[in-house]
Chains A and B, each alone.
Chain A
């Protein structure tokens, strides 16, 4: 190598090691292979007693950039060796590395360039935690590292405080010296104090989005649980000590605001980590943790607790009562949205109490004691949370082998009295395949009547059938036990089941041919997050040799998609000839095929045309194209999936076809078939020949048996649609004027709002805002979830509001913990009309739901943060901003105000609304479905 070893290096990397000769070379190599060559490695040995010195010597002889320093005696921590390393470092910049971790290849260079370009006191980059068993990795506080930026100290960006590690940072040596920053040597969690001090002293911090540190996690399965528990408690003690010192430093050096941030960080991060252990852990350990935590919790100013999410705040109350069960119940709510406590009313206040204990505040304590005040949940939306917004507590109390498989006995706790409030309820058990939740095995279940003071505990028992239903040759298939809760006629709720039956895992042999051949056993076990699940345990040489080999061979076919495809026609190439052959069969005069949105839902206009057909021609055989597992919409209906033989046959032989989008590319309409196109929205963006590249479409239109040319009738909602859509697609068939089948119930008033709210379990005095956007993807082409800050939005609106989320079916959403009780994911509600009726305000962007919702003459708010980008690209028929009957907003803050104002002043946009309806919305008389059905049948 070059002279960089002798000349002053640009960066010094201090690698600390204690008795880790085995992994040290990996860590050091990750530094020596950095794309920044000008650096030195200082191996700071905490007086190891194994081969570490020898390994270090070898490393030094291999590369002159390696140096070695050794503490005279073992310090037992990371602080002393790091300080020793800083002492001998020669470079103007210093970094730290632990012997069991490694650097990303470009870490030193990226951090060095950042600190040089910005002149910051230190630079920090992203760390990844890599699980060394699974090799999967997660990012450490990624939200802090999204953008390349410079912040002027902690004041400017308090959330940095969550990143408490010292190893993902490059420090300016002069900065460390000037502020005399060194690691404390007598405690663990020296990082926390050091990092906090560094944050507090810094006036400029450079942040880069690149990964710099690979933090390797070695799951400790070998360890005895007792020593682990011991270890855990010691760790907690050290953590508290580190926090006490941080407090002492903070009192002298930083302002109240930063102290608040620090306290909240302790509660929401450090404390939460240990209280969370109570979910699956040993109550004795929880008790010890609570004893340690008590004085420290009481030293934190009480107002900090008001900023915690309800679950965690209540957990603190239970912690102060030293109630391990109570802590568990509250943490279940905090971490898993499982309501593990009771909400009950005392006087005019509402209290959370432990599921095991008596309701209400603790009478032995003063009403204004911390224990009682923190358990007071009055004013929280939890008090009147809809049933679908949380899971009840279900837990298996006992599991044992029985003659037929595994026998489980469990309890359900109904902490909000949802079961009691309904007229009728049922619980049922099922085993749900974890990687394919649509595969579920129903389990017969016996429920005993409710017990407890208010009938809040329900006892149940069941026999898990360990037969061919759950046997899979792929031994990695896991089954989660779930409870399905049905209250009255509301949609069923699938909820998780906790493991609460001791530490012993119970297994039983699989019955039925496959399992017997392989002598597999199914084992009930507790998942990492404390739930009840089943996994396969392999036994015997047959399974381990032959079975595994067979499994490997079959692996490609075992994947879910392939299995599903077996039942479908093999490939798109095959479908066309098979379909062509089927077209030679005679037409079935009584068959009608209905499809909406490419066979994904039972809804939109085809649903209502179908209903009208059922009335007019009950003799017709209706075939619905729906996803797998969908039940028949009404008795006598057939259900087929797109792409299957049944589908091809239905498509080839039906006399009547109803669709709102398009049939597959190989579809050719036969002579004698009648095809009603309902279309699925009023056009806003340009389409058809209005968008340039449409030669293909027009050609299709001309050919007459496919594409637009195949349509016989087109449902026309309004004159605007006729003016725009019909010429754009050069449609020349029959026009079914005016009205939209799916809007019939909106104008006839067939849907009762109270009834909808009851089914959604929303209190009638709540105000409801519905968010229904168009589908969109981010720059990486992944569907994006919510383009606004949901927490800010819900908290901004206040507790009187409920937010219904109706994302496009391809978009997934994640609702953060604190606001779950005010937010309902209603993507499962099949008929969107219900939601229109339920809503007080609609928030949308460019989605055509605005044209339907407007008919109800209720306020609309347009959240169009990407107006130019979204509409600009493609061209529009009219400028939405000119005619949209509502405010257009860009930020979450504006959105909150606009929604409130919309309800406060409902009539502000009345004129615009009437104009909008008149110009663009359907001319609805409530008879559109009937008209469309008659047109399809060829009658007037």
Chain B
């Protein structure tokens, strides 16, 4: 086996604006920087909003060039639906066929399926046969064990991911939970942060930020209520809320009701999270449900401690309470306010937490993540 095997990364779509696409690009860039021959393939071009694939430092392509077309609607057994389904089936055949050709180049290489749907295409060629030919198969899953159950992905994973070379989860907890269900090939590698900048230039302002969508499950109103109780004590501090979403008007009403319009502002969406975090001193996240909220890691990497609700196991995976941030019980507005006050009052505490935050966010540093992947490749090739 060559020391740097050819890599094929595959994901449902590669030209969309979603999180998986971003991570795929991040990883592909990283691998090619480290001297691998990398291809990134999507099953077909996305029908939604698209980004350009030009100028990327690795090969890109699609299994089939036709775009998704949405279901025509109408009766389940109506002619339109039948035709649509037939076409879909035909396209899948094409995709599988083109996959067969592509795989010819990877008998000594590694194929990473970033989503289970891709592995299902591969399975049409027989996973055992593909592996017997020498190709190493790695499957990734970007949600938690609990989410796999609620979304119904679990059965698909159980069918396709148990016999491949490695099943890569985002956290150790998830890897262990799957292992207990007799998945004997699990490991965990987190997604890399898009940027890692522990010494951003410019002075820090007395600024608290929120980087959550204006949407009910994020319960931004809790953060605002907490802010309202402490804002009078800190006239020199401001609270900026970045994001888009349907509930902007409601939140503005709440700000007016609470009479905190002078210090709290809805800033709308931002394209440059890094810039926002480089100005801020604190970050708050008061949502009801989260998966593995990478925004916490990102804030940590930029020396911004977070005060967050304990809204999922993923939160605690990233933030260690009292060490690099505060994790408070969900829906406890009082405690949220109390912890914010503590950090706003004690500059020393804030800076200690910021320092330990950077240290623990190293796990998500692109270099660390790429190292883990490379180690995995070495082991997979044996």
Residue B288 at the A interface, CB < 8 A?
yes
| Cβ contact within 8 Å between B177 and A693 | no
Interface string of A869-888 (1 = CB under 8 A from B): 00011110000000000000
Interface residues of B in 359-377 (CB under 8 A from A): none
A105 to B165, CA, bound (A): 9
A132 to B281, CA, bound (A): 63
When distances are taken between beta carbons in the complex, the residues of chain B under 8 Å from A38 are: 382
Interface residues of A in 77-112 (CB under 8 A from B): 104-107, 109-110, 112
**Given contact pairs A38-B382, A106-B185, A109-B382, A874 touches B330 in the complex (Cβ within 8 A):** yes
| Cβ contact within 8 Å between A872 and B185 | no
Give the nearest-CB partner of B1 in chain A: A2
When distances are taken between beta carbons in the complex, the residues of chain A under 8 Å from B134 are: 1-2
A210 to B187, CA, bound (A): 12
When distances are taken between beta carbons in the complex, the residues of chain A under 8 Å from B310 are: 872-873
A781 to B222, CA, bound (A): 29
Residue A451 at the B interface, CB < 8 A?
no
| Cβ contact within 8 Å between B331 and A106 | no
| Cβ contact within 8 Å between A211 and B184 | yes
Interface string of A25-54 (1 = CB under 8 A from B): 000000001011110000000000000000
A692 to B336, CA, bound (A): 14
Give the nearest-CB partner of A3 in chain B: B1
A78 to B134, CA, bound (A): 34
Interface string of B125-137 (1 = CB under 8 A from A): 0001001101000
Interface residues of B in 130-170 (CB under 8 A from A): 131-132, 134, 149, 162-166
When distances are taken between beta carbons in the complex, the residues of chain B under 8 Å from A110 are: 184-185
Interface residues of B in 315-362 (CB under 8 A from A): 329-332
| Cβ contact within 8 Å between B332 and A105 | no
Residue B379 at the A interface, CB < 8 A?
yes
Give the nearest-CB partner of A690 in chain B: B331
Residue A300 at the B interface, CB < 8 A?
no
| Cβ contact within 8 Å between B379 and A113 | yes
Interface residues of A in 195-229 (CB under 8 A from B): 209-212
Give the nearest-CB partner of B166 in chain A: A35
CB distance from A696 to the nearest CB of B (A): 12
When distances are taken between beta carbons in the complex, the residues of chain B under 8 Å from A1 are: 134
A779 to B128, CA, bound (A): 32
| Cβ contact within 8 Å between A780 and B180 | yes
Residue B179 at the A interface, CB < 8 A?
yes
Residue B219 at the A interface, CB < 8 A?
yes
| Cβ contact within 8 Å between A692 and B132 | no
**Given contact pairs A1-B134, A106-B185, A873 touches B330 in the complex (Cβ within 8 A):** yes
Chain B, interface SS category: loop
| Cβ contact within 8 Å between B180 and A874 | no
| Cβ contact within 8 Å between A106 and B329 | no
When distances are taken between beta carbons in the complex, the residues of chain A under 8 Å from B165 are: 35
A875 to B108, CA, bound (A): 55
- The count of residues in chain A whose C-beta lies closer than 8 Å to any C-beta of chain B is 31
CB distance from A345 to the nearest CB of B (A): 50
When distances are taken between beta carbons in the complex, the residues of chain B under 8 Å from A780 are: 177, 180-181
| Cβ contact within 8 Å between A35 and B185 | yes
A781 to B1, CA, bound (A): 44
Most buried by B among A106, A209, A872: A106
Chain A, interface SS category: loop
A35 to B219, CA, bound (A): 46
A103 to B310, CA, bound (A): 42
Residue B182 at the A interface, CB < 8 A?
yes
| Cβ contact within 8 Å between B331 and A209 | no
Interface string of B175-214 (1 = CB under 8 A from A): 0110111101100000000000000000000000000000
A10 to B381, CA, bound (A): 12
**Given contact pairs A38-B382, A692-B219, A779-B177, A106 touches B184 in the complex (Cβ within 8 A):** yes
Residue A691 at the B interface, CB < 8 A?
yes
| Cβ contact within 8 Å between B331 and A691 | yes
CB distance from A135 to the nearest CB of B (A): 14
Residue A472 at the B interface, CB < 8 A?
no
Residue A686 at the B interface, CB < 8 A?
yes
| Cβ contact within 8 Å between A104 and B330 | no
CB distance from B12 to the nearest CB of A (A): 25
When distances are taken between beta carbons in the complex, the residues of chain A under 8 Å from B1 are: 2
When distances are taken between beta carbons in the complex, the residues of chain A under 8 Å from B181 are: 780
When distances are taken between beta carbons in the complex, the residues of chain A under 8 Å from B162 are: 105
| Cβ contact within 8 Å between A105 and B382 | no
| Cβ contact within 8 Å between B180 and A873 | no
When distances are taken between beta carbons in the complex, the residues of chain A under 8 Å from B180 are: 209, 780
Classify chain B's interface size: 20 to 34
Give the nearest-CB partner of B176 in chain A: A209
When distances are taken between beta carbons in the complex, the residues of chain B under 8 Å from A10 are: 382
Interface residues of B in 287-331 (CB under 8 A from A): 288, 310, 329-331
| Cβ contact within 8 Å between B331 and A874 | yes
A10 to B222, CA, bound (A): 57
A118 to B181, CA, bound (A): 25
| Cβ contact within 8 Å between B177 and A105 | no
When distances are taken between beta carbons in the complex, the residues of chain A under 8 Å from B163 are: 105
User: Of B184, B329, B380, which one neighbours A874 at CB under 8 angstroms?
Assistant: B329
| Cβ contact within 8 Å between B288 and A692 | yes
CB distance from B313 to the nearest CB of A (A): 9
CB distance from A446 to the nearest CB of B (A): 52
Give the nearest-CB partner of B163 in chain A: A105
When distances are taken between beta carbons in the complex, the residues of chain B under 8 Å from A874 are: 329-331
**Given contact pairs A33-B132, A873-B329, A210 touches B382 in the complex (Cβ within 8 A):** no
When distances are taken between beta carbons in the complex, the residues of chain B under 8 Å from A209 are: 176, 179-180
Interface string of A1-23 (1 = CB under 8 A from B): 11000000010000000000000
Give the nearest-CB partner of B137 in chain A: A35
| Cβ contact within 8 Å between A693 and B184 | no
| Cβ contact within 8 Å between B331 and A105 | no
| Cβ contact within 8 Å between B329 and A872 | yes
Most buried by B among A10, A107, A872: A872
Interface string of A797-831 (1 = CB under 8 A from B): 00000000000000000000000000000000000
| Cβ contact within 8 Å between B128 and A33 | yes
Interface string of A688-700 (1 = CB under 8 A from B): 0001110000000
A107 to B219, CA, bound (A): 46
When distances are taken between beta carbons in the complex, the residues of chain A under 8 Å from B185 are: 35, 105-106, 109-110
**Given contact pairs A33-B128, A875-B329, A211 touches B382 in the complex (Cβ within 8 A):** no
| Cβ contact within 8 Å between A692 and B184 | no
A364 to B184, CA, bound (A): 59
When distances are taken between beta carbons in the complex, the residues of chain B under 8 Å from A692 are: 219, 222, 288, 330-331
When distances are taken between beta carbons in the complex, the residues of chain A under 8 Å from B132 are: 33
CB distance from B238 to the nearest CB of A (A): 26
A660 to B329, CA, bound (A): 28
Give the nearest-CB partner of A9 in chain B: B382
| Cβ contact within 8 Å between B382 and A37 | yes
A620 to B353, CA, bound (A): 67
CB distance from B342 to the nearest CB of A (A): 18
When distances are taken between beta carbons in the complex, the residues of chain A under 8 Å from B184 are: 104-107, 110, 210-212
When distances are taken between beta carbons in the complex, the residues of chain A under 8 Å from B288 are: 692-693
A211 to B181, CA, bound (A): 10
A21 to B13, CA, bound (A): 49
CB distance from A928 to the nearest CB of B (A): 33
When distances are taken between beta carbons in the complex, the residues of chain A under 8 Å from B332 are: 875
When distances are taken between beta carbons in the complex, the residues of chain B under 8 Å from A875 are: 329-332
Task: Apart from A780-B177, A873-B310, list 17 A-B contacts with CB within 8 A.
Answer: A2-B108, A35-B165, A36-B382, A104-B184, A105-B185, A106-B184, A110-B185, A112-B382, A209-B179, A212-B184, A692-B222, A692-B288, A692-B331, A693-B331, A872-B329, A874-B329, A874-B330
Binding site for A on B (CB under 8 A): 1, 108, 128, 131-132, 134, 149, 162-166, 176-177, 179-182, 184-185, 219, 222, 288, 310, 329-332, 379-380, 382
A sample of 13 cross-chain residue pairs with beta-carbon separation below 8 angstroms, ordered by A number, consists of A2-B108, A10-B382, A35-B165, A38-B382, A210-B184, A211-B184, A212-B184, A692-B219, A693-B331, A779-B177, A780-B181, A872-B310, A874-B331
User: What are the nearest 7 A-B pairs in CB distance?
Assistant: A210-B184, A692-B331, A106-B184, A106-B185, A38-B382, A35-B165, A872-B329
